[in-house]
Structure 1
Amino acid sequence: MQSIAFIGIDGAGKTSLAGMISNELTKRGYRSKKLHIKSFNQEVLRHMEQHRPGLVQEELKLVASTLDLLYRSIHLQTQQYDFVIWDRYYYCLQAYYRALNIHIPWQESLFSFLNPPNLTFILKIEPTEAVNRLQNRNEPIKPLENINYLSKVTAEYKKMCIKYNFITLDASLSLDDLKKQILSYLLS
């Protein structure tokens, strides 16, 4: 099983590309699974907001994402896929935590149980372009979807690019161009 991760700031195109790549691999006969780490924790957060209004802050959402990632990784070990496509991975959580100056000692311990992806694609985009994309979707802007915060997250990703062997993609390219580039890495 190959594990592929898409990382980058909000608005870079992670969700769109992860879906496109997973669908394309399935069309080509591969067993592919796309995972979006925020999906599972939304149910938990809705429950908490109903029963403890005002408790759920952005920091708590990041903690829930960490637990969700760990849960999904453990569950995947019993599944048979050719490709697992992660729409976000622990690198995203690290960048977002650090940009908020949140240091939770046990978080790094949990990450140590996760296998790094075989390939990690970082979608690089300027925070101003990312915010423009976010404003054009049909959803309200979230508290952390702003140029200042996304610039801090971008700075954290730059540090990670030095440490890890990410494949950098220009997220300002068309989705079709990016899809071709990604498939050339996966199927070569």
Structure 2
Amino acid sequence: MKLIAFVGMDGVGKTSILNSIYSILVERGKKVAKIKPESGDTEIAKVLRMIRDTYSQKDKQQQRELNQKIAEALALDLLKTSEKIKEAYSSFDYVLVDRWTMCQEVYDKTWFVWNDFINECLALCYKPDIVFLISAEMDIVQRRLSSRPVVKETENIFSLKRVNRLYHNLAKENGWEVIENNKTLDDAVSKVYQKLLEEPSV
């Protein structure tokens, strides 16, 4: 089983690209699963959002401590997800994950809640065989995000620039595949699939 991670800022189109790659692989007879850890509709995400909203009026120091605990809980949840992948999908050809450990690292460092406990939890998680960093020009990202009904706190231009810089630094350090999604979706999907064709098992 190969674990393929799709990472990048909101608005770069990684989920759409992942879904297209999933369809292509399934059409070619591969046994494929797709997973979105830490998505907003998971039980832990709902509980953590409720806790954050309940205590959002606390002072800045208390809010930072709360964010720290939430980040630690999410790291533990990713470790739990990693173990589920090993147990439930070992017979699959591919597991495509929409966000993975490196996404939490980027956002935790952006919001200054990264610590040794989180680092150790994420280090124990399943290591992807390939990481695709989906990227796009900042004006394109902002235009895509502005069309959404809700704008997240993390989607302001200052946070986006820091997130983008951290992602690209990690990509250089770890040899990730960087896919630019500035044109049509099909163009980016084709680039991802060509990279997968270079893998012996595809």
1:160 aligns with 2:170: yes
- Mapped partners of 1:131, 1:81: distance in 2: 36
Q: Deviations over 1:131-171 (max 9, x none)?
A: 2101113x311111111101011111122122101111112
1:30 correspondence with 2:30: yes
- State the structure with more CA Rg: 2
Give the aligned residue type for 1:70. Answer: L
The 5 A counterparts of 1:1-188 are 1-39=1-39, 42-48=42-48, 53-55=53-55, 59=67, 62-78=71-87, 79=89, 80-137=91-148, 139-188=149-198
The two structures have a TM-score, normalised by structure 2, of 0.82
Cα distance, 1:23–1:107 mapped onto 2, change above 3 Å: same
Asked if the contact 1:40–1:68 (Cα under 8 Å) also holds between the matched residues in 2, the reply is: no
Q: Secondary structure at the match of 1:30?
A: coil
Higher deviation after alignment, 5-14 or 43-52 = 43-52
Q: 2:48·2:70 contact (CA, 8 Å) conserved in 1?
A: no
Report the CA distance between 1:45 and its aligned residue: 3.5
Identity of aligned residues (%): 27
Cα distance in structure 2, aligned partners of 1:40 and 1:141: 14
- After TM superposition, give the deviation of residue 50 of structure 1 in Å: 5.1
Q: Which runs of 5+ in 1 are unaligned?
A: none
Quick one: distance in 2 between partners of 1:123 and 1:53? 30
- The 8 Å contact of residues 6 and 14 in structure 2, kept in 1 or not, is answered as yes
1:60-83 CA-to-partner distances (Å, cap 9, x unmatched) read 654444233212210111222101
Task: Summarize the Cα distance change of 1:52–1:92 in structure 2 as closer, same or farther, 3 Å threshold.
Answer: closer
Asked if the contact 1:62–1:97 (Cα under 8 Å) also holds between the matched residues in 2, the reply is: yes
Decide whether aligned partners of structure 1 residues 49 and 171 sit closer, same or farther in structure 2, where only a CA change above 3 A counts.
closer
Q: 1:11 to 1:52 in 2, by over 3 A?
A: closer
How many residue pairs get matched?
187
